[in-house]
Amino acid sequence: MKIILVGLNHKTAPVAIRERLAFDATRIMAALRQLKNRFGQPAEFVLLSTCNRVELYCAADADSGVTHNRLTEFLSEFHGIKPDDFRDLLYIYRDEDAVRHLLTVASSLDSMVVGEGQILGQVKESYRLACAARSTSKVLNRLFHCSFAAAKRVHTSTSITDGRVSVAGVAVELATQLFADVTSAKVVVIGAGETGELLVQHLLHEGCKNIVVVNRSFDRAGNMADKYGVVAQKWGQLNDQLIDADIVIASATVQDYLFRKDVLGELCDRRKKGSLLIIDVAVPLNFEPAVNDIENVYLYDIDELSGVAEENRKAREKDIHKGMQIVYENVAEFMDWFRAKDVGPLIGQMREKFAEITQEELDRFFVGPRQEASCKQVMEPMVKRIVNRLLHCVIKNVDAVAKERGPAEAAKFVDSIVQQAKQISTETDDKDSSQQ
């Protein structure tokens, strides 16, 4: 069994590529089903897609035909993108490296903003979708639950989640840095999803009093407005809200730009206010990058938040080190289980062969007059106990080989022991025959 991860993130790929490879929940389900149909039942898959990363996790038998190249080809075919457009931006991790990466991601130690709490929820949701698509089994089930446990320990044992640590928090922090008086500004939040709700929470924390939420589903926007005491507007009112806004923070899930330069330029001509600050944290982007060329419009997209994220990262260096130690411990525990999972059946075979040879030797000894020997009832369990103790020593050596050199080498080691045991048994039979 092997574990393979193929992915890209904010460190390796620009937002323009990430948004072309992004999945929503419906497309994740479709992709997982296609992967199962393509590679068969033994292969397991989980697909993680956020604004900052797209990662495909796979666990499969060595002879399943699953390779990182075939997974790359799948991403290319599913999205209709040439492999050469993104192949060089991918990272490929296997086995322990893949495990370590997932645990680091789930613990928010690999996020643009270290410690942001949103990523753990996204990892859990990706796993939930995989379970719904029945694309997981023993290995990835164990791996993802291990990642949840590691993330919990990191969050409770360190202070990396303190303060503004989500992408939404950084967006609001940027607004406070670039706008003179954010408390009196009219802020329009586009999107009422999880990120939109985080934006509202951070804005209220900063003392903003004039917050308007605009969402395609007015009911969802209305529910958020009732929950936080802000204003909800219908989607058709979005243009009018932008004309009167000071700050716009966009997080809507769309397949194309909500606003291009020409349309927004016409809206800005109708504005009576001064400058307009737009922070676009959506993937795909809600605003065309050329919008930044409009006079008195200042656009920042999600990639430009990395400077603030870096400052937060430096402030948390000690906690990052502590968090990584927790990750390493959990990786070691998982890999012990993962290696033993493959070696376990081999050890079972070895136990059976030793038991078989032991019984053969006992049967060979207790023949003829010895068959009714009074010591038989004592000797048989005693011999079996001795063999089991010796076998325990052998198993410890098998475990050591598995940890140091991998399951394949451990399998060879076990096989060599079984073959030697068979040879010894055969030699004994030949010797007995010649003596007769």
Tokens for 412, please give them: 């060879």
- Residues with active-site annotation: 51
Give backbone dihedrals phi and psi of 134, rounded to 5 degrees, phi first.
55, 40
Indicate whether 433 pLDDT > 60: no
pLDDT-based confidence at 98, cuts 50/70/90?
very high
Which comes out higher in pLDDT, residue 374 or 79? 79
Percent of the chain with pLDDT over 90: 50
Indicate whether 58 pLDDT > 50: yes
Indicate whether 79 pLDDT > 50: yes
Distance between CA atoms of residues 102 and 108, nearest Å: 10
Distance between CA atoms of residues 155 and 162, nearest Å: 9
Tokens for 391, please give them: 């076998």
Indicate whether 349 pLDDT > 70: yes
pLDDT of residue 85: 94
pLDDT-based confidence at 435, cuts 50/70/90?
low
> Nearest-CA neighbor of 279 among 394, 175, 135, 169?
175
What is the distance between the terminal CA atoms of the chain, rounded to a whole angstrom?
49
Burial pattern 276-304, b for ≥16 Cβ within 10 A else e, equals bbbbbbbbbbbbbeebeebeebebbbbbe
Indicate whether 163 pLDDT > 50: no
Q: What is the pLDDT of residues 296-316, one digit of tens each?
A: 999 988 887 766 666 766 766
Distance between CA atoms of residues 166 and 163, nearest Å: 9
Q: Are 192 and 213 in contact (CB under 8 A)?
A: yes
Distance between CA atoms of residues 414 and 118, nearest Å: 46
pLDDT-based confidence at 414, cuts 50/70/90?
confident
- Domain at 167-313, CATH class: alpha beta
Any idea which residue has 């890209």 for tokens? Answer: 8
pLDDT of residue 430: 57
Distance between CA atoms of residues 236 and 224, nearest Å: 18
pLDDT-based confidence at 25, cuts 50/70/90?
very high
Question: Rounded mean pLDDT of 96-100?
Answer: 96
Topology adopted by domain 2-160: Beta Polymerase; domain 2 (3.30.460)
Which comes out higher in pLDDT, residue 224 or 369? 224
pLDDT of residue 431: 56
pLDDT of residue 339: 74
Neighbours of 348 (CB within 10 A): 11
Indicate whether 422 pLDDT > 90: no
Q: Are 310 and 17 in contact (CB under 8 A)?
A: no
Mean pLDDT of the chain: 86
In DSSP terms, which residues pair with 247 in a beta bridge?
187, 277
Indicate whether 64 pLDDT > 90: no
pTM here is 0.60
Gyration radius from the chain CA atoms:
30
Task: Indicate the domain borders of the chain.
Answer: 2-160, 167-313, 340-421
pLDDT-based confidence at 166, cuts 50/70/90?
low
In DSSP terms, which residues pair with 280 in a beta bridge?
250, 301
In DSSP terms, which residues pair with 277 in a beta bridge?
247, 298
pLDDT of residue 240: 94
Distance between CA atoms of residues 200 and 188, nearest Å: 10
